[in-house]
Structure 1
Amino acid sequence: MLYLKTSDENGIISFHPLNPDEMYYKCEVCGNFYGIDNLSDFSFDEHVFLKDYICPQCEAEIEDDYELEQEEKIKSRIEKALKMDNLIK
């Protein structure tokens, strides 16, 4: 069994088991490794390395955060418009 040694920003060292006949990518957000079932789902840069990939769970969290942020912006704009029209204080 092959293992990949990684260390995070805090210096914590982790070992991730790798199967020699499989490909993996590292999530850019959580740092976990995920196996690639279908290579056609991934694009490669000119150096043939996977880059900037986010796992489905982290991607869903990012989308939720983005939606909440957009809702807050809309609420803020509405409140600002109402204050300008002296409809609320």
Structure 2
Amino acid sequence: MGAQLNIKSEDAYRLASRLSELTGESLTTVVTRALQSELDREQRLRDKAAMKADLLAIAADIKANMPDDVTSDHNWLYDDETGLPK
């Protein structure tokens, strides 16, 4: 027999048993699938948080290296008389 997991919770046993009844799968299968699902969800959350931190660091680096006189005025790109791009 392989490794064992002994959970001393009536709620956990009840939930696993009910899911096992609904799916027709063994208790081991439903517990394994539920744990894998939760692990996948947690990993996705951490991956998103890491990506957000990376993007914020990149933005901070860009901001730190931008000249102080940068504005949103882009009039120099357009002709004063026609308003068309130069």
TM range (shorter): 0.3 to 0.5
Whose relative contact order is higher, 1 or 2, with alpha carbons under 8 Å and at least 6 apart? 1
TM-score normalised per structure 1: 0.42
TM-score normalised per structure 2: 0.43
Structure showing greater radius of gyration is: 2
